[in-house]
Amino acid sequence: MKTTIVGVSGYAGQVLAQLVARHPSLEVAAVQGHESAGETLGAAVPGMPKELARMVIEPLGSEFGDADVVLLALPHGASQALAPRLLDEGKVVVDLGADFRFGDEASYEAWYGSRHQAVELLGHRVYGLVEVHRKELPGARLIAVPGCYVTAASLALWPLVARSLIGNDLVVVDGYSGVSGAGKGLKPTSHFVSVNENLSAYGLLNHRHTGEMEMNLGRKVLFTPHLAPISRGILSTSYAVPEQMNSPMTGEQLLTMYREVYAGSAFVRISEHPPGTREVLGTNTIAIYPIYDPRTNRYVVISALDNLVKGAAGQAIQALNVAQGWPEELGLDQIGVWP
Ligand SMILES: NC(=O)C1=CN([C@@H]2O[C@H](COP(=O)(O)OP(=O)(O)OC[C@H]3O[C@@H](n4cnc5c(N)ncnc54)[C@H](OP(=O)(O)O)[C@@H]3O)[C@@H](O)[C@H]2O)C=CC1
Ligand SMILES: CC(=O)N[C@@H](CCC(=O)OP(=O)(O)O)C(=O)O
């Protein structure tokens, strides 16, 4: 399928370009950017392979021509202006941003503080958390890909939710992100001098990803994000209170149950040790380690993923694969850290 990547000069867009170029059923037909329009991809993103480097970046919203698929990797708010036109033109749209992650207008407005410009599409979008929504994806024409923090926490806790092993109490999530999670724009908070040898919390109490975690988990969430002095990776630690009616599962039982729930999910690795971000770097894998603490009566689940792959571009391709009826893993092996 001919594929146009919009936002190709961004961190997520760069990885998308790499994945599409090597995918056996996709072809990079065109690339679009904002300030980088008019440059070659090689000039905008040093280190691109030759066949991509010579492509000229078109201005955002140029003609999409005979593209079959359009992948949007734009700042929040920019996709909703483009998606209606693309769907009218018969394209399959995969959005890596937040514009279509909520299925209703009120939640979007509550967490993003602005009115949605394409409300009529919200009921048609399929949420691309593949491991949970696999059956809804075949034939999808508008896929909203969840982001890095939300994927890490949601897949970590999903088995406990699906098996009714946690009550309705508050769930607590501590997330740690590499600096590429903040995008390529220069900000004082992501300068080398601010980040190097430093670990800090931000977005306290009302980070916009809280609402999306609540949507996925059906429970109130207290989410605290942290910026970690690494380029890529998300580490998430989630805490939940067991359902009172059942005796809590032991660590061994949890491992067995998690393996059952994710039995058909090639990109989920149930780990027997707390995973670190390095072991999933450059892969579409999320590693998950669940335990139970009898002293505090809490389930604690650690998860790790690469924010630019399983947290963004890899998950987008995984969801597209399922939507098209292709093998879920197509084009997603041996990715590596690139560019
Ligand atoms: N980084 C991450 O870890 C993750 C990112 N995502 C999502 O993917 C999307 C892209 O993120 P990321 O790659 O980090 O972002 P970047 O800031 O790195 O890149 C943004 C891209 O959008 C273009 N762009 C910038 N400003 C505008 C604008 N005002 N209007 C239209 N286009 C613009 C840029 O073009 P140009 O360079 O030409 O100006 C660039 O191609 C976001 O929605 C983000 O939430 C999802 C999960 C993880
Ligand atoms: C480190 C950092 O700043 N991270 C971003 C989230 C990463 C991202 O792009 O998030 P979504 O695509 O999931 O919305 C933030 O906290 O806003």
Residue range 148-306, CATH number: 3.30.360.10
221, 161 contact by CB (below 8 A) = no
Q: Cα separations (Å) of 42 from 27, 33, 47, 122? A: 18, 13, 7, 36
Task: Compute the distance between CA of residue 56 and CA of residue 66 in angstroms, rounded to an integer.
Answer: 17
pTM score:
0.96
Which residue stretches of the chain have pLDDT < 50? Answer: none
Q: How far is the CA of 7 from the centre of ligand 1 (A)?
A: 6
User: H helices within the chain, ranges in order?
Assistant: 11-22, 41-44, 50-53, 79-88, 105-112, 119-122, 130-133, 148-162, 192-195, 209-217, 251-261, 314-324
**Binding site membership of 77 for ligand 2 (Cβ less than 6 Å):** no
Q: How far is the CA of 288 from the centre of ligand 2 (A)?
A: 20
Query: Which residue's CA is minimally distant from atom 15 of ligand 2?
Result: 182
Q: List pocket residues of ligand 1, CB cut-off 6 Å.
A: 7-13, 33-36, 60, 73-76, 78, 96-97, 147-148, 180-181, 183-185, 307-308, 311-312
Residue range 2-146+310-324, CATH number: 3.40.50.720
- Domain 2-146+310-324 and domain 148-306, same fold? Reply is no
Structural domain boundaries of the chain?
Answer: 2-146+310-324, 148-306
User: Which residues are the active-site residues?
Assistant: 148
231, 308 contact by CB (below 8 A) = no
**Binding site membership of 182 for ligand 2 (Cβ less than 6 Å):** yes
Q: Which atom of ligand 2 is nearest to the CA of 96?
A: 12
Query: Which residue's CA is minimally distant from atom 43 of ligand 1?
Result: 97
Quote ipTM for the complex.
0.97
Mark residue 9 as left, alpha or beta (left: phi above 0; alpha: psi -120 to 50; beta: remaining): alpha
Q: Which atom of ligand 1 is nearest to the CA of 37?
A: 38
Closest ligand by atom to 13 CA: 1
Output the pLDDT for position 339: 64
Q: Which atom of ligand 2 is nearest to the CA of 225?
A: 16
Q: Cα separations (Å) of 13 from 95, 99, 123, 312? A: 11, 16, 26, 9
Phi/psi at 220 (5° precision):
-65, 140
Q: Which atom of ligand 1 is nearest to the CA of 312?
A: 47
Closest ligand by atom to 195 CA: 2
CA dihedral of residues 188, 152, 323, 282 (deg, nearest 10): 70
Closest ligand by atom to 9 CA: 1
Q: Which amino acid is at 328?
A: E
